Structure 1
Amino acid sequence: MILSDRDINKRIAQTDIVITSPDNDHHGNVNASSMDLRLGKYFKVYRHSHHAILDPADPEGFANLTDLITIDQPGQPFIVQPGEFILGVTLEKIKIADDLVARVEGRSSLGRLGIIIHSTAGFVDAGFEGTITLEITNINRMPVALYPGMRVCQLAFETMSSPADVPYHMKKTSKYQGQELPQESMINNDPELVRHHRHLKTNHVQTKQIDLPQSISTTRQC
């Protein structure tokens, strides 16, 4: 069951939903059946010229995949180029109770500019705490400016049939609990891939790493 604005505010008052932000200016962002979240100032851009492929079974290859870009100057946008995929983060940090889940949805106003806010990771597990990493893609043929502090996505909350026995904050394999910056994929820590990598090392099997010329520029303008 999706929570209405009345129930969202009620669960906030009961601290089952906790929303915090640096400026504490998020209280008016509750809609009829969702809550708006704003874009943070941190972005991560993939180093395309350093890696030819992304191999989930290669933890060494997952190191230094991205550059962190911080937009500190008020009013300065981050320009998302056509076809570009970047990681952003919400300004707000959320914490949800063990009997609630949340779904991240993009805003239609940004969708009409060709901005996709999340690729597949729109589900927030019961008991999660942290900022939400946004998988942002520009499918427009024109660059699009995104401003830190602008409303960028919305959360819809749903009640579960009962509280989780092992909520996200208690799960041993939770990888993103407490995240604050945009967090790259940690799929290489999945147990099945860890076992696969261990098997390759034990049997001295090497995966071929293809490196592109270092002369290719990785600089960009925000």
Structure 2
Amino acid sequence: MFLDELAVRSLINEGGLCWGGELRRDSLLLTLGNRLQPMAYRPPAVVDVTDQDQIDAMYGETMVGWHSFILRRGALALFHANHPVALPNGVGGLIGGLSHMARLGLTVHLDTSIVDAGFHGVLTIEMFNAGPSDVILRPGMPVAKVILYHVGGDASAGPYHHVFYGNEDHLGSKYAPEFFSAPVVEGQSD
């Protein structure tokens, strides 16, 4: 069940939900923070996702304290949200883009809209420009919202800890170290 505005405000007031940003009715309003990671100017043509060095080669230099950024047509960039969030156990979230941004051709969170119950940290916002024009983005701009919901059963049993999720030190994918102990080498079997 999705939480309405009254339930969200109650969670904040009671200290169950830590959120320093604005609410947009019943949702947490996500704005762009001061950390941005563009994709590399000349990324590799092919990347083996079992090799973290190859994944890292897809990214440009992380920008901290940026003032404006041009998201080019057909480009992807990663942004930290302006405010960290701490969800209580038993409450998860769904990230959705603002329709105003979608009508410009900007997508938010290509395929990772779920925020796990008990998440504590800074959300990374993936923005892709599918529109006909380059778009200038600035810190503090509202771009998405998080709708909260109750999680039932054993999913809400304990605290949520994950080495990569919500970490303020990186924005890019850490797929390889999470799922592979070493890069897969063709011709070798595990």
TM-score tier after normalising by the smaller chain length: 0.7 to 0.9
Q: Match for residue 188 of structure 1? A: 176
| 8 Å Cα contact 1:3-1:156 kept in structure 2 | yes
Q: Match for residue 164 of structure 1? A: 156
Distance 1:50 1:33, change over 3 A: closer
1:176 aligns with 2:157: no
Q: Describe the superposition over 1:158-206 as per-residue Cα deviations: whole angstroms up to 9, x where unpaired.
A: 011246234422xxxx243341255111110233x336x3x639949xx
Greater Cα shift, 11-20 or 151-160: 11-20
| 8 Å Cα contact 1:94-1:129 kept in structure 2 | yes
| 8 Å Cα contact 2:36-2:79 kept in structure 1 | yes
Aligned equivalents of 2:56 and 2:38: distance in 1?
14
Q: Match for residue 214 of structure 1? A: none
Q: Match for residue 13 of structure 2? A: 13
How many residue pairs are counted as aligned between the two chains?
Answer: 187
| 8 Å Cα contact 1:87-1:182 kept in structure 2 | no
Q: Describe the superposition over 1:78-100 as per-residue Cα deviations: whole angstroms up to 9, x where unpaired.
A: 11000111111100100001110
Aligned equivalents of 1:46 and 1:38: distance in 2?
20
Aligned equivalents of 1:118 and 1:181: distance in 2?
19
Cα deviation, residue 133, structure 1: 0.6
Residue from 14, 32, 57 that aligns with 1:39: 32
Residue from 147, 161, 185 that aligns with 1:200: 185
| 8 Å Cα contact 1:90-1:134 kept in structure 2 | yes
Aligned equivalents of 1:128 and 1:154: distance in 2?
16
Greater Cα shift, 37-46 or 57-66: 57-66
SS of the counterpart of 1:61? helix
Aligned equivalents of 1:93 and 1:164: distance in 2?
20
Q: Match for residue 216 of structure 1? A: none
SS of the counterpart of 1:60? helix
Mark the structure with the bigger radius of gyration.
1
Cα deviation, residue 60, structure 1: 2.9
1:68 aligns with 2:59: no
- Normalising by the residue count of structure 1, what TM-score does the alignment of the two structures yield? 0.76
Q: Match for residue 2 of structure 2? A: 2
| 8 Å Cα contact 1:105-1:122 kept in structure 2 | yes
Q: Describe the superposition over 1:15-56 as per-residue Cα deviations: whole angstroms up to 9, x where unpaired.
A: 221013xxxxx3xx2233212121112211122525222211
Distance 1:178 1:135, change over 3 A: closer
User: Percent identity of the aligned residues?
Assistant: 22
List aligned pairs for 1:23-62, cutoff 5 A: 26=21, 29-62=22-55
Unaligned runs of 5+ in 2: none
Aligned equivalents of 1:180 and 1:166: distance in 2?
23
Residue from 146, 149, 152 that aligns with 2:140: 149
Letter aligned with residue 187 of structure 1:
Y
Aligned equivalents of 2:118 and 2:48: distance in 1?
30
Structure holding more strand per residue: 2
Cα deviation, residue 135, structure 1: 1.0
1:139 aligns with 2:124: no
| 8 Å Cα contact 1:118-1:135 kept in structure 2 | yes
Q: Match for residue 98 of structure 1? A: 89
Aligned equivalents of 2:56 and 2:100: distance in 1?
35
Q: Describe the superposition over 1:100-125 as per-residue Cα deviations: whole angstroms up to 9, x where unpaired.
A: 00111101111111111111111100
Distance 1:4 1:53, change over 3 A: same
Cα RMSD (Å): 2.3
SS of the counterpart of 2:85? strand
